[in-house]
Structure 1
Amino acid sequence: MSNSSLEHAIAAIRSAQLIGATEEHVVAVPTADSDKIKLQPIVVEAYSRLRDEAKRAGFELEIASGFRDFQRQQGIWTKKLAASNESERALEQILHWSAFPGTSRHHWGTDFDFFDAREFPPHKDTDKKLQLVANEYNLGGPCYQLYQWLREHAAQFGFYWPYKGRGNGVAAEPWHLSYAPLAVHYQALWQRAEQEDYLRTFIREQNLVGFSLVESRLNNIIQRYSLQVETPPPEATQ
Structure 2
Amino acid sequence: MNFESISEAQALGLDPSHLVEISPGCLIHGAIEAPLSTLYDKCRADGCVLSVASGYRSFDRQLAIFNAKARGERAVLDDAGRPVEMSGLSEREQLFAILRFSALPGASRHHWGTDIDVYDAAAIEPDYRVRLTYDECAQGGVFGRLHQHLDSALTAGGGFYRPYDCDRGGVAPEPWHLSYGPLARRFEQVLTRDLLGDQLAVTDIELKSAILNHLDAIYARFVCLQKRDV
From 106, 117, 135, the equivalent of 1:113 is 117
What are the residue-to-residue correspondences of 1:1-238 with 2, within 5 Å? 3=1, 7=2, 9=3, 11-29=4-22, 32=23, 34=24, 36-83=25-72, 84-85=86-87, 87=90, 88-122=92-126, 124=127, 128-155=128-155, 156-190=157-191, 195-229=192-226, 231-232=228-229, 236=230
CA distance in 2, matches of 1:200, 1:90: 19
Q: C-alpha offsets along residues 188-216 of structure 1, whole Å, 9 cap, x if unaligned?
A: 234xxxx3333333223332222122111
Question: What secondary structure does 1:228 align onto?
Answer: coil
What are the ranges of 5 or more consecutive residues in structure 2 without an aligned counterpart?
A: 73-85
Question: Shift of residue 230 of structure 1?
Answer: 5.8
State how far apart, in whole Å, the 2-side matches of 1:89 and 1:98 are: 14
Query: Number of residues paired by the alignment?
Result: 214
Q: Distance in 2 between matches of 1:167 and 1:157?
A: 24
* Large movers: runs of 4+ above 6 Å: none
Please give the alpha-carbon distance, in whole angstroms, between the structure 2 residues aligned to 1:107 and 1:165. Answer: 22
* Structure 2 counterpart SS, 1:97: coil
The percent identity for this pair of structures is: 33
**Residues 27 and 39, structure 1, Cα contact 8 Å, conserved in 2:** yes
Structure 2 Cα separation of the partners of residues 90 and 216 of structure 1: 14
Report if aligned partners of 1:169, 1:228 keep a CA contact under 8 Å in 2. Answer: no
In 2, the alpha carbon distance for the partners of 1:15 and 1:56 equals: 39
Considering Cα pairs closer than 8 Å and 6+ residues apart, tell me whether 1 or 2 has the greater RCO: 2
Distance 1:19 1:218 in 2: 16
Partners of 2:227 and 2:124 in 1: how far apart?
29
Report which stretch shifted further, 199-208 or 58-67. Answer: 199-208
Could you say what secondary structure the match of 2:166 adopts? coil
Distance in 1 between residues matched to 2:220 and 2:148, nearest whole Å: 30
Secondary structure of the 2:141 match is: coil
CA distance in 2 between counterparts of 1:159 and 1:144 reads 18
Q: Which moved more, 1:201-210 or 1:90-99?
A: 201-210
Higher-helix-fraction structure: 1
**Aligned to 1:114, what secondary structure does the other structure show?**
strand
- Distance (whole Å) between structure 1 residues aligned to residue 227 and residue 176 of structure 2: 14
Structure 1 residue 105: Cα displacement: 0.6
Distance in 2 separating the partners of 1:45 and 1:142: 27
CA contact (8 A) 2:71 2:206 kept: no
Q: Which amino acid aligns with 1:71?
A: D
Q: Give the TM-score, by structure 2 length.
A: 0.86
- Whole-angstrom CA distance in 1 between matches of 2:32 and 2:125: 25
Cα distance in structure 2, aligned partners of 1:230 and 1:150 = 21
TM-fit CA distance, 1:131:
0.6
